Amino acid sequence: MSSYMLIFPIFIPIALGALSKFIHFRTRRAREIFLLIPVFLTTVLVWALILNRPEGSLTLFRFTKNLAISLRLDDFGSFFAVIVATLWPIAMVYAYEYISPEKRTDTFLALYTMTYGVTLGVSFASSLLSMYFFYELLTLVTVPLVMFTMTEEAKYAARKYLYFSLGGTAFAFIGLVFVIVYGTTDAFLPGGVLNLESIANVRLLQIVYIFTFCGFGVKAAVFPVHSWLPEAAVAPTPVTALLHAVAVVKSGVFGITRVTYFTFGADFLRGTWAQYAAIAIALFTILYGSSLAARERHFKRRLAWSTVANLSYILFGVLLLSPSGLASGMMHMLFHAFMKITLFYCAGAVLYKTEREYLSELDGLGYRMPVTFVCYTVSALALTGVPPLSGFYSKFALGAAGILDGGVWGVLGTVILLASALLTAIYALYPAVRAFLPQKGAILPPKDIHDPNAYMLVPMIFTSAATVLFGLFSVGIYDWLYRIASGVFGGGL
């Protein structure tokens, strides 16, 4: 397939999403159909590109002779694109029903569609400059979504998200400048692009790596640049579902992985204080996020703190700088996307049908909304790491990689993963227990409360079923991801 096809999955959602804002539709359904068709078309195009991957790259425009915004689809970019393209149409269907009572749905749906194209731009970027460009655009299109309800809480959350993101991109820009100066190219290459023979001050570049790690780590919600993420839980659930499962936070993890393996290089970082410092940040974030999730009483904010912890699960695997570590991190990245989006779908269904936001208000809801809470329970068990669900296998792979490839830090990381698993069981399963086993004397919900309609039920059933199926086919999935990881170390794509 021609490399010119790479522009269409990015351009179609951005262009038609923006265009929809200026078209007068006679009915809301007409607007929904107008946007849903290009979203599904984009997903088909992405899958077609992955299955028939173009050779070479596509340059969109140049700043200088050596600096350009360009696209290329390699194995690692294809992996992220698979997650984005699979989950976005499902989230769009869920959003149509959830957002229907709100005003300004035209603005919401336009931005929601445009975010799809921008996120694919992050995954298709062929260089650090290109990824930085789409990474900045991602902030610009998602800030209005966070503040969509225009409450004081939403405005505060959006400002905080914007300030943190701008600070993060400033740190990432430092890395970009140093890579341009000390690298042979800013393009992503397996093994990195640094000209190590010409580097006089290696420690300086290690410091730059930590700056870059923390810069992209803002969207990956690593400590101490994480606090915007729980605040963003005030956004409409379709937004938080994609923030926490697909678009924003996974773009942060994706960016860190790109910089680690395709810019600085595993050989440059392995065994250095920079690697250990990054691992230490990730491990502390796991414990910190899990602990805060266990004490949080707001339903969506509890899930947000869970995301803080689980993103650093992925980073722990990535930072082991081994094929098994990278493969296990990618595995958890995939499985977590489906687990977490299901949990947010369920929390959103509760809020949509009952306007209940706190765990103390969930007593007996499992009997009024059985499908919702069965889906929630399945994903909560998977997130805890109960076999044979998918979360068990990704966490097991992370622990095994830590013990085999991580030395002292890997063993310490595995111990922290086990401690976090206990905390996960507490915070993830507690809502299900309250829903199906109400406390003595609790007032049960009115009988007229029931599960939402198919627009919201089908997405949560699909993603929770995928969580089960991934567990059943985990060996094959790991083998696929290990081949991609081995290609990174072997110089292939």
Q: What is the pLDDT of residues 223-253, one digit of tens each?
A: 999 999 999 888 888 888 887 788 889 999 9
Q: Is the pLDDT of residue 195 over 80?
A: no
Q: What is the pLDDT of residues 356-412, one digit of tens each?
A: 989 988 988 999 999 999 999 999 999 999 999 999 999 999 999 999 988 899 999
pLDDT at 252: 93
Q: Which of the residue ranges 30-34, 58-62, 103-107, 334-338 would you say has the lowest mean pLDDT?
A: 103-107
Q: Could you state, in order of their start, the residue ranges of all structural domains in the chain?
A: 307-493
Q: Is the pLDDT of residue 2 over 70?
A: yes
Mean pLDDT of 3-20: 92
Q: Is the pLDDT of residue 442 over 80?
A: no
Of residues 426 and 447, more confidence is placed in 426
10 Å Cβ neighbour count for 476? Answer: 10
pLDDT at 181: 84
CA angle 378, 354, 160 (to 5 degrees): 80
**Which band of pLDDT confidence, cut at 50, 70 and 90, is reported for residue 29?**
confident
- Report how far residue 280's alpha carbon sits from residue 45's, in angstroms, rounded to the nearest whole number: 40
Cα 355–chain centre separation: 26
pLDDT at 482: 95
Q: Are 488 and 190 in contact (CB under 8 A)?
A: yes
Mean pLDDT of 283-290: 96
DSSP secondary structure of 304-319: HHHHHHHHHHHHHHHH
10 Å Cβ neighbour count for 200? Answer: 7
- Report how far residue 243's alpha carbon sits from residue 258's, in angstroms, rounded to the nearest whole number: 20
Q: What is the pLDDT of residues 50-70, one digit of tens each?
A: 999 988 888 888 887 788 899
Q: Is the pLDDT of residue 82 over 70?
A: yes
Q: Are 317 and 295 in contact (CB under 8 A)?
A: no
Mean pLDDT of 160-187: 89
pLDDT at 32: 84
pLDDT at 185: 83
**Which band of pLDDT confidence, cut at 50, 70 and 90, is reported for residue 86?**
very high
Q: Are 462 and 90 in contact (CB under 8 A)?
A: yes
